[in-house]
Structure 1
Amino acid sequence: MEKTFSSEAKKACANCGAELKFKPGSHQLKCDYCGYEEFIEQEKSSFEELELQHYLKVVGANAYTETIALLHCKNCGANQHVEEHYKSLGCVYCGEPLIREDIQKEGWILPGALVPFQMDANKAKQIFTNWVKSLWFAPDNLKKAALDAEGLHGLYVPYWTFDAHLDAKYQGQRGDYYYETQTYRTKKGTQTRQVRKTRWRSASGSVDGFIDDILINASEKKSHHIPSKVAFWNLKEMVGFNSKYLSGFVTEKYTISLKEGHHQSFQEAKNIAYAWIRQDIGGDTQRIDHADIKLSNETFKHILVPVFISSYFFNGKNYNFYINGQTGSISGVRPYSFWKIFFLVLFIVLIITVIAIFAK
């Protein structure tokens, strides 16, 4: 039976009737008006891993368990879920206005778990402000934008995680280094040096093991790619999915299908297999001629992870800055002020000219 997902249903404060919002760094909802707090009950059953082949073969690659109300950004293509009290909102990635009249309902696989925000917008704003202050040649408008809390949005980003048992049979070669003394002539006479060489011998065998939580970004686009410096979350702090954790934040729907996510995860599994094989071969260096890699007992989850995003438009180009909502790490491609660099170069040239004149 099709169900409608709704994090939009407002949870009213038992004390004053105002809307309760998730309190980052806790497992509680909090009223911003009177301070009342309410505990979020944990649903451990939500952690259940889903059988991958069942969804890919039986249910279908575009399977969904519920529907979600989305605002689609016509500029960058991001699909964002927002709460009812938003009459309009700017896209967290590009700032393009999102109007509720454009709302659509789409099917999705309900998240099985999420990593809750561990900091609020004020803390994220301070991290962003301090980072911008540390940037050389940053435009003055960027520093002003860092002071604008409205430009910083908390976003739950969708990821696929894949688990599997891996078996791999391989054929390759083990290389062991050895050194030979080589004689050569120079103007100073005959000298010697040590030359490293490699002794190769055939190697074959098999490796196996369990692969846990291969993370695949389910909304990855070149226009808003989360930097690797930020894209690391401690999944041991995941909790079972509960829409109450989404209150006060924007949630993005995945744009990479389960099938495509699985394809990408196999490439990661292949890299893991090759690392295991190299370790099994041993020696100083290795060659892998052939590897037959098989995955079994494959399962997956759809999870949400926390990120703060600030969008800044400068000289006709959009810049995004990202803060990990769990660890506080920050990264982004920053703009440079042409005039600040120009005047610095001009100043240096003048100083060099003055020094040259007085040195004569």
Structure 2
Amino acid sequence: MDNEKKQSFSEKKRSCINCGAELTYEPGTTEITCDYCGHQEKITTSKDGLEELELQPYLEKLGAHFHSEEISMIQCKNCGANQHIEENYKSLHCVYCTMPLLVEDIHKEEWILPGAVLPFQLDQKKSHQIFSKWVKGLWFAPNNLKKAALHPEYTKGLYLPYWTFDAQLFAHYSGERGDYYYVTVPYTTTVNGKTVTRTRTERRTRWTPASGQISGFVDDTLIKASNQRKNPIPHKITNWNLEKLQPFHSDFLAGFVTEKYTIPLQDGHLSSQQEARKIATVWAKRDIGGDTQRVHQLDMKLTEETFKHILLPVFISSYKYDGKTYNFFVNGQTGSIYGKRPYSFWKIFFLVLCILIIVGILFFFFNK
């Protein structure tokens, strides 16, 4: 590992050569920028592409909790989130629950060095624009929701940790192939008080034994590497395009919060095996063919397994309305949004009342 990678993240601050202020990553570019004088520097990533690490040495020789770099971390005492926050933040708040964080709680931990990062394509201003548009499009929201107390200082760009796994998959399977066929069957019904016999067409399935073998490459099985006890990242915004991953460089993290994984590599690997079995089952059904399939037994083997620790971008924030806190999340690459929202009791009440009135009027006219 080169000297730069051996440094801790707290030592990787980049200062502006003109004014000495800290340089931060400019979303959507490959540059770090000084917010004071506008000076920019190019981020130079490895020309060797994304680095895949051989899995078994990490699991067998180094252990499930082996890490390869030291990083400054601070844990929220309210929700338990473990996060790395740049030292230039004057006011520290948890990105998940917005509770204050104490600088005195910062401590050193080790982690497996990220192999790739998906840089932010949106800045904080754009994330607020997306949020405002989302609020305006909410049905049954209170009229004065637009005046909700937003907290821009709580809106943070967060890099989430994930594991990705690659492997060559080989499996033997046995099951059944189902082919549809149709038969005409009689049935009786009552018409005008009389019992009559009619026919209808029913679909049946003809099952035949099937077995065979499948093989292929399982690429970038994505496994979440952290658990949030409060305000977990919703699945609806996790639609990242992993083809845009960049070789890891610490400059991409400048100005953002980075969460450390809490699910160790060993557990992530077990989850990836479960996902690989689901993929193998889909392949086996495709190989069986027919109209429908059953897979009774699947003997799967994974070889040439590799993994990466990657970081993916999301904006997390909250707003207060009527004394309650509501969280929202914006995908830092695609801009997709998901959030919790309040509902207007009176809007819903009057809608239901209008529907009942319309139904009552229609009923009255049709029964005159």
State TM-score, norm by structure 2.
0.89
Give yes or no for contact 1:87–1:99 (8 Å, CA) kept in 2: no
Q: Cα–Cα, structure 1 residues 340 and 8, in superposed 2: closer, same or farther, change >3 Å? A: farther
Structure 1, unpaired ranges of 5+ = none
Q: Percent identity?
A: 59
Q: Aligned letter for 1:175?
A: G
For 1:336-355, list aligned pairs within 5 A.
Answer: 336-338=343-345, 341=348, 344=350, 348=354
Can you give the 5+ residue segments of structure 2 that lack an aligned partner in the other structure?
none
Distance 1:351 1:217, change over 3 A: same
CA offsets 1:84-114 (integer angstroms, 9 cap, x no match): 1124311111011112111011111010110
Report the residue type matching 1:90 in the other structure.
H
Query: 1:266 offset after TM fit, Å?
Result: 1.0
Q: Distance in 2 between matches of 1:233 and 1:208?
A: 27
* Matched residue count: 358
Deviation at 1:351, TM superposition (A): 7.1
Q: What is the CA–CA distance in structure 1 between the aligned matches of 2:156 and 2:144, rounded to whole Å?
A: 19
Measured at CA, do residues 134 and 32 of structure 1 come closer, stay the same or move farther in structure 2, by a change above 3 Å? same
**SS in structure 1 of the partner of residue 134 of structure 2:** helix
Pairwise CA distance, 1:146: 7.0
For residue 103 of structure 1, what is the aligned residue in structure 2?
Answer: 106
Q: 1:46 to 1:82 in 2, by over 3 A?
A: farther
Partners of 2:302 and 2:324 in 1: CA distance: 43
Cα distance in 1 between the residues matched to 2:149 and 2:299: 51
Q: CA deviation at 1:335?
A: 3.1
Q: CA separation in 2, counterparts of 1:330 and 1:8?
A: 34
Deviation at 1:76, TM superposition (A): 0.8
**CA gap 1:5/1:340 in 2 versus in 1, 3 angstroms:** farther
Q: Which residue of 2 aligns with 1:275?
A: 282
Indicate how the Cα distance of structure 1 residues 79 and 316 shifts in structure 2: closer, same or farther if over 3 A, else same. Answer: farther
Match of 1:41 in 2: 44
- Output the amino acid matched with 1:274: T
Q: How does 1:1-360 map to 2 (within 5 A)?
A: 3-6=6-9, 9-45=12-48, 47-138=50-141, 143-145=146-148, 147-188=150-191, 189-312=196-319, 319-338=326-345, 341=348, 344=350, 348=354
Shift of the alpha carbon at 1:228?
2.0
Distance 1:205 1:59, change over 3 A: same
Moved more, 10-19 or 109-118: 10-19
Whether contact under 8 Å (1:157, 1:305) holds in the other structure is: yes
Look up the equivalent residue of 1:296 and give its one-letter code: T
Q: Which deviates further from its counterpart, 167-176 or 135-144?
A: 135-144
Residue identity matched to 1:268? E
Letter in 2 for 1:273: A
